[in-house]
Amino acid sequence: MTTEIFNKQKTIDLRKQHIGPSCKVFFSHDPIKIMRARGQYMYNEKGERYLDCINNVAHVGHCHQEVVQAGAKQMELLNTNSRFLHDNLVQYAQRLQATLPEQLSVCYFTNSGSEANDLALRLARQYTGHKDIITLDNAYHGHVSSLIDISPYKFHQLGECEQNQHVHVAPSPDIYRGKYREDHADPATAYADDVKDIIEKAHAKRHKIAAFIAESLQSCGGQVIPPVGYFQKVAQHVRKAGGVFIADEVQVGFGRVGTHFWAFQLQGEDFIPDIVTMGKPIGNGHPVSCVVTTRAVAEAFMSSGMEYFNTFAGNPVSCAIGLAVLDVIEKEDLQGNALRVGRYLMDLLEKLKERHPLVGDIRGCGLFVGAELVKDRLKRTPATAEAQDVIYRLKDQRILLSADGPHRNVLKFKPPLCFSREDADLAVEKIDQILTDLENALGLPVSDHLNAQNKRKEPVEENGHGVPSGGSHHITKTNKRRRT
């Protein structure tokens, strides 16, 4: 058992004194002090266990022994920069490449998702000779200056929001709350046409498009799953304009979506981005990230004459850890687990939706799952305060969940991939109780009403009230768009 250096209050006081006040803690009125973690569980200073439903960085489970040992072993041997040859670097690049379509063959290692996305922009601008970037509304791509500029999720937080003139914001392809919804005949084309319009308007102002960038599934943006075919159509428009397609897989890649290793693959085999960025999960907490692109983009970047050197990136320790993470995903079939447990979790949540008027939408792929809370299912009024309430009450029961999206009303599941059915049962059971309490307090309609609402909007379950006997066939039916 590990012991505290300071008691909790002293830790809080020192943090106030010495850590930038812009760096927020979870649950600021009563933050959590975590001392150790293993798998999908974290333990506070009293040894109390929390179920971690949100840590998409501890991808193969907190403190996985194999990853820890690979890191420790390499730290003892060598940790230096990539200006020396090292087998770990090339082996890791080779292994990453093997997960991707063949033409995505050239890697640049970096230390964080932000460094990766910034480099992606530099690659795109150098390759195309263009400057403008199209990003999605509510997107988050990182914290460095160039990425704040393309992250409406961040720059909307600023009072005076002076948008960079080389950045264009396209509507988020959110078919629950966005511009074109699930009742639209072809939302993929409609959303892609909006990107086409943006390109035409930019051209009219003599601006030229360097890239379209999007998370393959919007994460901070509210667990948004773009309609299948959207990326293909966008890529067509963007490439016609001389730009490239950047798929940001920092939060959603590496097997999380269950059916595929990369989330962009959900769009179909005919879609291949020009640049893919990866980060968070790939080092299971160790600062490592990567940009992968085509030979053509890489050659153009080199032709600028500017060397790319990144002090820490691609060091033998980061690569050893990265390799171990890939090994564990494979050995423990974590992608398969994400698929199976993700489907199970979706089933449970769909059942919640049948009984709880606060639940407006359930969407997800693998262990990337969102439950959008609304005060009114027809108007889809965001239940922001209620979502916060759920999060806080879960915390009291030692379950860590978060709420995100532009209205902070989407409950987000993005747990370590070792998350189990029992974990899903526990989390959903608690959410069930909390929603019941909240709805009672709000005097919200009961489930009969729900059923009527469901009839209006969606194919209905045989028994809107009932608790189906498990399996996922009925979900697959009602929720096809989420299960590519």
Gap between the Cα atoms of 308 and 462, Å rounded: 59
3-state secondary structure of 245: strand
- Is position 424 an interface residue for a copy of itself (rule: CB under 8 A)? no
- The burial class, CB within 10 Å (0-12 / 13-18 / 19+), for 281 is buried
Is residue 81 close enough to count as binding a copy of itself by CB under 8 A? yes
Binding residue count for a copy of itself, defined by CB under 8 A: 103
Question: Closer to a copy of itself at the Cβ: 149 or 439?
Answer: 149
Q: What is the β-pairing status of strands 209-215 and 167-170?
A: unpaired
Query: Of these, 39, 41, 66, 91, which contacts a copy of itself (CB under 8 A)?
Result: 91
Q: Comparing C-alpha atoms, which of 439, 345, 434 is closest to residue 392?
A: 434
User: Other CB atoms closer than 10 Å to residue 424's CB: what's the count?
Assistant: 25
In this structure, what token pair is assigned to residue 246?
A: 């950047």
Rounded CA-CA distance 70/284 in Å is 12
Residue with tokens 């932000």: 114
Q: Is 391 in the site for a copy of itself (CB under 8 A)?
A: no
Stretch that binds a copy of itself, among 139-147, 371-379, 381-389, 419-427 (CB under 8 A): 139-147
**Spatial contact of 417 and 255, defined as CB atoms under 8 Å apart:** yes
User: Is residue 479 near a copy of itself by the rule CB under 8 A?
Assistant: no
| Least distance (Å) between residue 262 CB and a copy of itself | 17
Instruction: Identify which range of 223-231, 267-275, 308-316, 338-346 contacts a copy of itself by CB under 8 A.
Output: 308-316
Decide whether 79 or 484 has the Cβ nearer to a copy of itself: 79
Binding of residue 407 to a copy of itself (CB under 8 A): no
Q: Output phi, psi for 412, to 5 deg.
A: -110, 125
Residues 10-49 that bind a copy of itself (CB under 8 A): 11-12, 14-15, 17-26, 31-37, 42
207 CB-side CA count, 13 A: 18
Our finding on whether 55 is near a copy of itself (CB under 8 A) is yes
368 counts as binding a copy of itself under rule CB under 8 A: no
Of the two residues 31 and 101, which places its CB atom closer to a copy of itself in the complex? Answer: 31
We find the least distance from the C-beta atom of residue 268 to a copy of itself, in angstroms, to be 26
Give the whole-angstrom CA distance, residue 222 versus residue 159.
22
256 near a copy of itself (CB under 8 A): no
- State both tokens at 111: 């230390």
**With binding defined as CB under 8 A, does residue 77 bind a copy of itself?**
yes
Asked whether the beta carbons of 16 and 384 are under 8 A apart, the reply is: no
**How many Å apart are CA 447 and CA 354, to the nearest integer?**
7
Q: Which is nearer to a copy of itself, 95 or 474 (CB)?
A: 95
Looking at residue 119, its amino acid is: L
Of 163, 140, 165, 164, the closest CA to residue 151 belongs to 140
Closest to 427 (Cα-Cα) out of 405, 403, 397, 404: 397
Answer for which of 63, 167, 228, 460 binds a copy of itself (CB under 8 A) is 63
Applying CB under 8 A, among 178, 222, 243, 314 the residue interacting with a copy of itself is 314
Edge-first strand listing for the sheet containing 41-44: 41-44, 49-52, 399-400
Contact window for a copy of itself (CB under 8 A) among 73-81, 221-229, 354-362, 391-399:
73-81
Nearer to a copy of itself, 261 or 308 (CB): 308
- Is 153 or 264 the residue whose CB approaches a copy of itself more closely? 153
Nearest CB to a copy of itself, comparing residues 15 and 474: 15
Candidates 61, 71, 226, 382: give the one binding a copy of itself (CB under 8 A).
71
- Give the C-alpha separation, 224 to 136, whole Å: 11
Name beta bridge partners: 470: none
* CB-nearer residue toward a copy of itself: 65 or 436: 65
Is residue 287 near a copy of itself by the rule CB under 8 A? yes
CA angle (441 as vertex; 439, 445 as ends), nearest 5: 40
Of 266, 250, 341, the closest CA to residue 57 belongs to 250
- The 225-254 contact track toward a copy of itself, x by CB under 8 A, reads ------------------------------
Among all chains, which residue has been given the structure tokens 């769009």?
Answer: 267
Which residues, 315 to 334, sit near a copy of itself by CB under 8 A?
315, 317-318
Closest distance between a copy of itself and the C-beta of residue 198, in Å? 22
Q: What DSSP string describes 97-125?
A: HHTS-TT--EEEEESSHHHHHHHHHHHHH
Q: Residue type at 483?
A: R
Which residues, numbered 146-165, are part of the site for a copy of itself (CB under 8 A)? Answer: 146, 148, 154, 157-159
Query: Binding mask 95-134 vs a copy of itself (x if CB under 8 A, - otherwise)?
Result: --x-------xxxx--xxxxx--xx-xx------------
Which span (262-270, 280-288, 389-397, 452-460) binds a copy of itself, by CB under 8 A? Answer: 280-288
Contact 404, 53 (CB under 8 A): no
- Euclidean distance between CA atoms 44 and 50, whole angstroms: 8
Q: Output the smallest distance, CB 313 to a copy of itself, in A.
A: 8
In the three-class reduction of DSSP (H, G, I as helix; E, B as strand; rest coil), residue 406 is classed as coil
Nearer to a copy of itself, 97 or 478 (CB): 97
Q: Is 145 near a copy of itself (CB under 8 A)?
A: yes
By CB under 8 A, residue 305 contacts a copy of itself: yes
Residue 277 lies near a copy of itself (rule: CB under 8 A):
no
